[in-house]
């Protein structure tokens, strides 16, 4: 799990793709995240690309002009020509690192490959995206102690955290079939709820619609059924990270979640960003991870020296909301919160290790959610449930509109980026999703 810096991270690197050098883009040459795209509105096959500035480099075309000639073999050729990232993920992080190094050289200012690659670039504004990988299984965790405490206080003021929270990374098995890429639109879900002071549940559209600001984790190489992934090896099984909005129907959730946890309140839609940022690209933005001395320390299988030194990721997480009225009047989305993934109580490596400690087998393309990422300050809350204190404190926007929960026509936009002194800013792009009216009953 040790952090390895190499020449691809050098802050002085510049690209012949001019938009990659402006200091504002999420995608400088030091990033090079992977995704799946095609020209918008076309009948082209989806293909694997890498984001550079405001452009996309098609890896199939890069292969044809010899960018990967020194590392090419039959398995890599097959993986680069696929329409999803699963085969590439399954080749392991050493292969992904070699691809990233080759792309870094080919995209640098003065690179001989420019003449062959420049005509093949596709503007991101002219592209549409698919899910980066076929997601076989999806597990959502609950790694923010600030979120768990805030939500717990709404229902259990005297005992907000359950006794297992600080000992074990809590998770549940989610629904992969309803995960969509940024731009996803979905209808307000319908289900059972129990109104306050009622004796019988009602059936109809959910009323308390919410978002959850999360970080998504794509698994690379998996493990064999019956084997476990140790902490020292955990991040070698992670291909990269993305942004995740795990939409939630809070009133449905409150009625159904006992005794087996989330079900229909969560499985109607989850939206992820199209670009997967590798752990290698994020290496300069690692931070020390610490557990409060007054809290239980992780059991030995969830602890090691590297965890303490560099286990956290310094990733800013921003959430914005745009109402239908804002859109019609040309107003930009309004910020709801700003938090950081470094606040997480449980780390990426701990999630992977705990998931497999019982012998569970992960596979390339499997997906983990971090759970809602909230910070210690009220304005760092990662959901409306927290920001509005359970619906008691409306959020008022610049145009006078108010929100307690999400209304029909609202879009939620999430952004994430990492930056620090002496290193360029890199980001994830954004993930946007929109709530539509419920279907007719």
Could you list the beta-strand ranges (E) of 382-436. Answer: 395-396, 402-403, 411-420, 423-436
85-101 CB burial, b ≥16 within 10 A, e <16: bbbbbbbebebbbebbb
Are residues 216 and 372 in contact, defined by beta-carbon separation less than 8 angstroms? no
11: which residues sit within 8 A by CB, 6+ positions away? Answer: 30, 422, 423, 424
Q: What is the pLDDT of residues 115-157, one digit of tens each?
A: 999 999 999 999 999 999 999 999 999 999 999 999 988 878 8
Query: Distance between CA 57 and CA 49 in Å, rounded?
Result: 5
Do the bridges between strand 270-272 and strand 179-181 make them parallel or antiparallel, or are there none, so unpaired? parallel
pLDDT recorded at residue 157? 83
* Secondary-structure percent of the chain, ordered helix, strand, coil, rounded to 5: 25, 25, 50
The residue among 317, 312, 422, 432 whose CA lies nearest residue 30 is 422
**What does the pLDDT read at residue 15?**
98
Given this model, what pLDDT does residue 154 score?
A: 85
Q: Answer whether 242's CB lies under 8 Å from 273's CB.
A: yes
State the Cα–Cα distance between residues 190 and 168, nearest whole angstrom. Answer: 33
Q: Degrees (nearest 5) of the Cα angle 221, 225, 226? A: 120
Q: Identify the pLDDT of residue 156.
A: 84
Contact 152, 257 (CB under 8 A): no
Q: Tell me what pLDDT residue 155 has.
A: 78
Nearest to 286 by CA among 344, 354, 231: 344
What share of the chain in percent tops pLDDT 90? 95
> What is the percent of the chain where pLDDT is above 70?
100
pLDDT at position 341: 98
| pLDDT tens column, 71-111 | 999 999 999 999 999 999 999 999 999 999 999 999 999 99
Give the pLDDT mean for 225-237.
Answer: 97
DSSP string across 358-384: TSPPP-TT-EEE------SSGGG-SSH
What pLDDT does residue 336 have?
A: 98
Catalytic residues: 147
- Encode pLDDT of 299-337 as tens digits: 999 999 899 999 999 999 999 999 999 999 999 999 999
pLDDT at residue 2, as a whole number: 61
pLDDT score at 4? 86
Q: Which domains does the chain have, with CATH numbers?
A: 7-129 (2.30.30.230), 138-436 (3.90.850.10)
pLDDT at 365 (0 to 100): 98
Mean pLDDT in residue range 212-227: 98
Token pair listed for 66: 């010899």
From CA 60, how far away is CA 51, in angstroms rounded?
Answer: 14
Mark residue 438 as left, alpha or beta (left: phi above 0; alpha: psi -120 to 50; beta: remaining).
beta
pLDDT tens digits, 363-418? 999 999 999 999 999 999 999 999 999 999 999 999 999 999 999 999 999 999 99
- Give me the pLDDT at residue 1, please: 52
Q: In the predicted model, what is the mean pLDDT of the chain?
A: 96
pLDDT-based confidence at residue 345 (cuts at 50, 70, 90): very high
Give the pLDDT score at 39: 98
């Amino acid at each position: 799990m040790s952090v390895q810096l190499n020449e691809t991270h050098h802050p002085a690197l510049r690209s012949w793709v001019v938009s990659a050098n402006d200091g504002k883009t999420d995608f400088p040459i030091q990033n090079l995240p992977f995704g799946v795209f095609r020209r918008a509105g076309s009948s082209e096959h989806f293909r694997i690309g890498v984001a550079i500035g405001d452009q996309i480099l098609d890896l199939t075309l890069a292969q044809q002009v010899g960018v990967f000639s020194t590392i090419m073999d039959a398995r890599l050729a097959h993986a680069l020509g696929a329409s999803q990232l699963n085969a590439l993920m399954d080749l392991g992080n050493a292969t992904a690192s070699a691809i990233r190094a080759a792309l870094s050289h080919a995209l640098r200012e003065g690179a001989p490959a420019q003449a062959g690659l420049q005509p093949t670039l596709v503007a991101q504004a002219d592209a549409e995206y698919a899910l980066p990988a076929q997601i076989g299984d999806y597990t959502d965790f609950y790694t923010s102690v600030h979120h768990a405490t805030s939500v717990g206080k709404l229902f259990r003021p005297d005992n907000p955290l359950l006794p297992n929270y600080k000992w074990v990374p809590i998770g549940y098995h989610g629904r992969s079939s309803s995960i969509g890429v940024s731009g996803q639109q979905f209808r307000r879900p319908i289900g059972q709820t129990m109104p306050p002071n009622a004796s019988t549940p009602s059936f109809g559209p959910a009323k308390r619609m919410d978002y959850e600001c999360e970080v998504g984790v794509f698994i690379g190489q998996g493990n064999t059924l019956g084997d476990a992934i140790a902490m020292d090896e955990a991040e070698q099984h992670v291909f990269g990270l993305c942004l995740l909005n795990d939409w939630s129907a809070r009133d449905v959730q409150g009625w159904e979640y006992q005794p087996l946890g989330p079900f229909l309140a969560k499985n109607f839609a989850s939206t992820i960003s199209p670009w997967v940022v590798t752990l290698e690209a994020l290496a300069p933005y690692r931070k020390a991870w610490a557990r409060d001395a007054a809290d239980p320390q992780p059991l030995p299988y969830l602890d090691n020296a590297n965890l303490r030194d560099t286990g956290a990721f310094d990733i800013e997480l921003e959430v914005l909301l745009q109402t239908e009225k804002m859109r019609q009047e040309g107003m930009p989305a309004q910020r709801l919160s700003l938090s950081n993934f470094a606040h997480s109580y449980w780390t990426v490596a701990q999630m992977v290790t705990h998931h497999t400690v019982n012998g569970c087998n992960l596979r390339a393309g499997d997906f983990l959610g971090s759970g809602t990422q909230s910070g210690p300050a009220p304005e760092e809350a990662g959901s409306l449930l927290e920001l509005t204190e359970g619906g008691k404190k409306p959020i008022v926007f610049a145009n006078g509109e108010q929100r307690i929960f999400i209304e029909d026509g609202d879009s939620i936009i999430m952004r994430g980026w990492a930056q620090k002194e002496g290193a360029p800013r890199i980001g994830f792009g954004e993930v946007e999703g929109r709530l539509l009216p419920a279907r007719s009953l």
